[in-house]
Amino acid sequence: MKTKESRFQVHDELTAPERSAPVLKGAVSSGGQLPNFLGVLGGAPAALRAYARFRSELRHGSLSWATAQRIALAVAEHQGSEYALATLQRTARDAGLGLDEIALAREFDSRDDREMMLLRFVKSLLESEGPPPLHVLEEAREAGWTDEQILEAVAQVALDSFGNLVTRAADLPVDGSPEGSRLLQAA
């Protein structure tokens, strides 16, 4: 049986282009092990740095981490990202989501009515070819989401979609998989 292998080199802080090294070193120091996703992005310093800045700004935004995780789960499920879903199973739990909320978020749903309305807006954003229906936006507003928060949700969808595109283009093995471990040892 052949193990899955990335289509792009999975870099570490020693093999990456010089402009990627500081970001990768920072990721290793804060997280311990470098995710395959960041290792692949390390091959494109501008893309890696743009992703890191975008992610950092959203983490300091007005959406809670749990809300961002719900959005990421919904986007990953919608886009069929095995890599993101594997990672999000852990990070969503760290954000305080139970297994039931994780399963519901993957279906653009929540037991929390307010969260559910924002996820419905996200779903309509992903599924419509034009603007989402106005009533879906108004329902999110009526549930208590501000325009700032709704726009940050749109940005979160964009960030998550970018990550899913990269992992799909790379056909990236899930972190901790036998192939992922082999790639880290070979680097």
pLDDT for 175:
87
pLDDT for 5:
83
Neighbour-count burial for 23-40, b at 16+ CB within 10 Å, e otherwise = bbeebeeeeeebbbbbbb
pLDDT for 3:
44
Greatest distance between any 2 Cα atoms in the chain: 53
Q: Which CATH superfamily is domain 65-169 in?
A: AhpD-like (1.20.1290.10)
Instruction: Show the tokens assigned to 93.
Output: 């739990």
Residue 171 is classified by DSSP as T
Instruction: Show the tokens assigned to 184.
Output: 């880290």
pLDDT for 141:
98
Residue 87 is classified by DSSP as H
Q: Which amino acid is at 69?
A: Q
Burial of 90 (0-12, 13-18, 19+ CB in 10 A): exposed
Taking the C-alpha atoms of residue 117 and residue 109, their distance in angstroms, rounded to an integer, is 8
**Entry pTM:** 0.89
Sorted by where each begins, the domain ranges of the chain are 21-59, 65-169
The beta strands (E) that lie in 19-59 are given as none
Cβ within 8 Å of residue 70, ≥6 positions away: 92, 97, 101, 105, 110, 115, 118, 119
pLDDT in tens, the chain (187 residues): 334 689 999 999 889 999 999 999 998 888 778 999 999 999 999 999 999 999 999 999 999 999 999 999 999 999 999 999 999 999 999 999 999 999 999 999 999 999 999 999 999 999 999 999 999 999 999 999 999 999 999 999 999 999 999 999 999 999 875 444 434 433 3
Taking the C-alpha atoms of residue 87 and residue 152, their distance in angstroms, rounded to an integer, is 21
pLDDT for 2:
39
